[in-house]
């Protein structure tokens, strides 16, 4: 709401110095939290930018549109993405920022952008480094629990090792061939999502149709993850009963 309500369009520094410089500050904060090498910080010759996607919403406690990207050599990126018509050049003689001026339009394809930095600033000021770490670790702990119970059920398999809070699994009865297993997992995915009690996604890994469960909601607790596992088992029982 703050990002939209302030109605800032910081595509060049002159359009909103505050928005541009706050973005430089918060991406450097995040770089330090992640222990990135000095060369990825602005003071080390690198720098960061906040891009828009949905993936980061899980752990940055934002809705979306707040994905950090760091580069050690910003010139390489801006040379590829920059649009520099005369009317967008910084020629303000009162400005002390000349060749060092950051124009975030040069770090993306689109010309306009929103005040993304305010989102990350609010979250970091509200939760702090310790709060952010605890938030992420809690999700990873719950995903680890889910991975263990999947691995303990001989009807299922963990297709690839858990990555952070993402668990990839599939129902793999021993009496079925690969084609039947894929069809079965497509049905399992549809049945779980149709229940309205949980939502899971899928992917294809090495030609295998894989079900993915990601723990990431700000209000998610272990009881929710347990309920999701019980739902997966319930739907798996129904499908296996019908095919035997």
Whether residue 147 lies inside any domain: the answer is: no
Query: Contact at 8 Å (CB) between 147 and 162?
Result: yes
Answer whether residue 229 is part of any domain. yes
Confidence label for 97 from pLDDT (cuts 50, 70 and 90): very low
Does any domain span residue 85?
yes
My answer on whether 118 and 213 are in the same domain is no
**Given the residues 87, 93, 154, 219, the one annotated as active site:** 87
Residues 161 and 124 both lie in one domain? no
Q: Mean pLDDT over residues 170-174, rounded?
A: 92
Which CATH number characterizes residue 205's domain? 3.90.1150.10
- Counting the structural domains of the chain, the total is 2
Same domain (yes/no): 29, 70:
yes
Last residue of a domain, one of 128, 144, 176: 128
Burial class of residue 4 (count of CB atoms within 10 Å of its CB; 0-12, 13-18, 19+):
exposed
Q: Is pLDDT at 130 greater than 70 in this prediction?
A: yes
One domain, residues 190 and 226: yes
Number of Cβ atoms within 10 Å of the Cβ of 234: 14
17 versus 135: the higher-pLDDT residue is 135
Question: What's the mean per-residue pLDDT of the chain?
Answer: 83
Looking at the domain assignment, is residue 237 inside a domain? yes
Q: What pLDDT digit, counting tens, does each position of 9-57 carry?
A: 666 676 677 888 888 999 999 999 999 999 999 989 999 888 776 555 7
Q: What is the pLDDT of residues 188-211, one digit of tens each?
A: 999 999 999 999 999 998 888 999
* Confidence (pLDDT) at 3: 54
Q: Which among 123-137, 173-187, 226-240 has the top mean pLDDT? A: 226-240
Helix (H) or strand (E) holding 239: helix 222-243
Backbone φ, ψ for residue 158 (5° rounding): -85, 115
Residue 144: inside a domain: no
Residues 163, 114 within the same domain: no
Q: Are residues 26 and 118 in the same domain?
A: yes
| Residue 207: inside a domain | yes
Domain carrying residue 54: 2-128
Are 21 and 120 found together in one domain? yes
Identify whether 119 is part of a domain. Answer: yes
Which pLDDT band holds residue 118 (cuts at 50, 70, 90)? confident
Percent of the chain with pLDDT over 90: 46
pTM of this prediction? 0.73
> What's the pLDDT at 112?
59
Instruction: Determine, yes or no, domain membership for 233.
Output: yes
Q: Do 110 and 213 share a structural domain?
A: no
End position of a domain, from candidates 128, 144, 169 = 128
Verify whether residue 87 is a known catalytic residue. yes
């Amino acid at each position: 709401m703050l990002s939209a309500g302030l109605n800032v369009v910081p595509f060049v520094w002159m359009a909103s110095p505050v928005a541009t410089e706050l973005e430089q500050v918060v991406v450097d904060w995040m770089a330090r939290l992640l222990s990135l090498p000095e060369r990825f910080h602005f003071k080390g010759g690198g720098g960061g930018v906040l891009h828009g996607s949905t993936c980061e919403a899980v752990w940055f406690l934002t809705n979306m549109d707040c994905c950090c990207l760091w580069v050690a050599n910003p010139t390489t990126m801006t040379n590829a993405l920059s649009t520099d018509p005369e009317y967008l050049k910084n020629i303000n003689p009162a400005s002390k920022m000349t060749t060092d001026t950051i124009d975030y339009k040069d770090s993306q394809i689109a010309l306009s952008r929103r005040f993304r930095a305010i989102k990350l600033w609010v979250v970091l000021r509200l939760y702090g480094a310790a709060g952010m770490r605890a938030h992420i670790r809690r999700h990873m702990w719950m995903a680890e629990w889910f991975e263990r119970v999947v691995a303990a059920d001989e009807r299922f398999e963990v297709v690839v090792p858990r990555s952070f809070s993402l668990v990839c699994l599939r129902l793999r009865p021993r009496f079925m061939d690969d084609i039947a297993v894929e069809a079965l997992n497509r049905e399992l995915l549809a049945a779980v999502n149709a229940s309205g009690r949980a939502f899971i996604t899928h992917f294809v890994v090495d030609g295998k149709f894989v079900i993915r469960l990601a723990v990431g909601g700000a209000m998610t607790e272990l009881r929710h993850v347990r309920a999701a596992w019980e739902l997966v088992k319930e739907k798996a029982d129904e499908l296996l009963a019908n095919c035997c």
